[in-house]
């Protein structure tokens, strides 16, 4: 007979779970639920719903995933809900126009890729994976009408996304109004105690909580997490904006991108992407301010921890060493890519465009004039320089800080 999980006291759990959280609605309710779990040994049912609208997950997505993992590590039931039905409607949150509907095939392909990436964070054996087509796909017209009767249109149109579009005379499709209600039924079907989401999802989550009560269930607690700022330091991390770090990117690339963020943004990443306790993060900040710790060293520690979480300790160590060589000590990396070129003489700017180190002749000439080009370890600023490549020659090239190539004459 299975024994009930042993939970930490409610105050200890709450201290761990509230780290980094933007808002808990309501915190006293969560504390009560945690206290009940401590007494009864019954875990809370905690879920995160995700519509697989794109195949790739970046660090921004992992903020709420990590919080689900924290509940999981404390012994609660972690439910990862794939919105395979709701994805075909499209969440109107944060969009200025109706989303194009996804096909069933697109949703299924994205769902499969999502799960492979999600289990880099969650414990697969202890994760309950559900699909909302299990219940939404079986709802009758009568069921949908009954669901819609539990919420007022005026309240739905109060949400910022819809109000803004109405003011600008932009269209709103009726199916978009259904999205928060249908996803609210997820909370009913799962009988969840708590739902996780990003701050921008607050309206939907509040609807979910209210609809649960309409169906005779205790309203779930809502825990929202902040939006992670992207590499540009201004906008939310997004693949479409090009300011993202994918969790399947190579270790070295991931490490380098993390090192490119500003010193100020580094602390948000510490809070939301690591398990460092808040007092430790505060102490690191103080050490940087006092000059005891260099910001670069604090950021390298951050990059190491994040990369190790997705690729392992050895990969993180190697990425760290490569970064030191290339960026700190300005040495070439150990695994320089190679390209074979026909022997003969050619202008340096031609060599740069031929190898892809520059996109055009004008860019190549600009890089040369700026002193951003090294040929065999020497900076070359002569745009008229001719390079002679003999059969068997190994010619190291470097452009800027990041681009390295070894040209082989054949």
pLDDT in tens, the chain (410 residues): 445 557 889 999 999 999 999 999 999 999 999 999 999 999 999 999 988 877 778 999 999 999 999 999 999 999 999 998 888 776 666 544 555 667 788 888 888 888 889 999 999 999 999 999 999 999 999 999 999 888 888 887 777 777 777 788 887 777 778 888 999 999 999 999 999 999 988 888 999 999 999 999 999 999 999 999 998 888 999 887 888 999 999 998 899 899 888 899 999 999 999 999 989 999 999 999 998 989 889 999 999 999 999 999 999 999 998 888 766 555 555 567 888 888 888 899 889 988 888 888 888 888 888 888 888 777 888 888 888 888 777 788 888 877 888 888 86
CATH code: domain of residue 150: 3.40.50.620
User: What pairing do the DSSP bridges indicate for beta strands 221-225 and 194-198?
Assistant: parallel
Taking the whole predicted model, whether its pTM rises above 0.85 is answered as no
Phi, psi of 294, rounded to the nearest 5 degrees: -75, 140
Residue 40 lies in a domain: yes
Identify whether residues 260 and 391 lie together within a single domain.
no
pLDDT, position 403? 81
Residue 60 CB neighbours (<10 A): 21
Identify whether residues 42 and 165 lie together within a single domain.
yes
Identify whether residues 387 and 293 lie together within a single domain.
no
Residue 276 CB neighbours (<10 A): 17
* Burial annotation 119-128 (CB, 10 A radius, 16+ → b, else e): eebbeeeebe
CATH code: domain of residue 358: 3.10.290.10
Identify whether residues 201 and 259 lie together within a single domain.
no
Identify whether residues 292 and 348 lie together within a single domain.
no
Last residue of a domain, one of 309, 328, 347: 328
Q: Which domain holds residue 398?
A: 338-409
Identify whether residues 305 and 184 lie together within a single domain.
no
Residue 238 lies in a domain: no
Identify whether residues 37 and 126 lie together within a single domain.
yes
- Alpha-carbon torsion 170, 174, 178, 179, what sign? negative
Last residue of a domain, one of 207, 225, 243: 225
Q: Are 52 and 111 in contact (CB under 8 A)?
A: yes
Identify whether residues 80 and 169 lie together within a single domain.
yes
User: What pairing do the DSSP bridges indicate for beta strands 394-399 and 373-375?
Assistant: antiparallel
Identify whether residues 304 and 384 lie together within a single domain.
no
């Amino acid at each position: 007979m299975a024994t009930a999980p042993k939970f930490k006291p409610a105050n200890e759990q709450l201290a761990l779970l509230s780290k980094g959280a933007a808002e808990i609605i309501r915190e006293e309710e969560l504390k009560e639920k945690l206290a009940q779990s401590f007494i009864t040994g019954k875990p809370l049912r905690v879920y995160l719903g995700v519509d697989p609208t794109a195949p790739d997950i970046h660090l921004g997505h992992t903020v709420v995933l990590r919080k689900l993992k924290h509940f999981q590590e404390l012994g609660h039931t972690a439910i990862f809900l794939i919105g395979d039905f709701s994805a075909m409607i499209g969440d109107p949150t944060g969009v200025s126009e109706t989303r194009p509907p996804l096909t069933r095939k697109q949703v299924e392909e994205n769902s499969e890729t999502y799960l492979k990436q999600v289990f880099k964070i969650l414990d697969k054996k202890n994760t309950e994976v559900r699909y909302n087509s299990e219940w939404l796909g079986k709802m009758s017209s009568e069921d949908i009408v009954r669901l819609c009767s539990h919420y007022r249109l005026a309240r739905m149109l109060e949400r910022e996304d819809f109000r803004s579009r109405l003011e600008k005379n932009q269209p709103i499709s009726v199916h978009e109004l259904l999205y928060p209600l249908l996803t609210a039924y997820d909370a009913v079907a799962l009988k969840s105690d708590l739902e996780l989401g990003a701050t921008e999802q607050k309206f939907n989550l509040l609807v979910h909580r209210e609809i649960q009560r309409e169906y005779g269930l205790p309203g779930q607690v809502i825990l929202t997490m902040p939006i992670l700022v992207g590499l540009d330091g201004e906008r939310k991390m997004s693949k479409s904006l090009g300011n993202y770090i994918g969790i399947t990117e190579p270790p070295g690339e991931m490490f380098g991108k993390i090192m490119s963020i500003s010193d100020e943004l580094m602390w948000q990443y510490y809070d939301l992407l690591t398990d460092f306790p808040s007092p430790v993060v505060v102490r690191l900040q103080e050490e940087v301010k006092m000059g005891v710790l260099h910001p670069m060293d604090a950021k390298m520690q951050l990059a190491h921890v994040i990369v190790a979480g997705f690729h392992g300790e050895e990969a993180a160590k190697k990425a760290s060493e490569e970064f030191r060589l290339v960026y700190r000590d300005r040495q070439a990396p150990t695994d320089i890519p190679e390209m074979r070129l026909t022997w003969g003489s050619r202008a340096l700017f031609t060599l740069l465009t031929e190898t892809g180190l520059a996109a055009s002749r004008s860019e190549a000439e600009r890089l040369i004039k700026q002193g951003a080009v090294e040929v065999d370890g020497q900076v070359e600023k002569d745009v008229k320089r001719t390079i002679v490549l003999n059969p068997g020659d190994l010619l190291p090239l470097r452009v800027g800080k990041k681009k390295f190539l070894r040209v082989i004459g054949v």
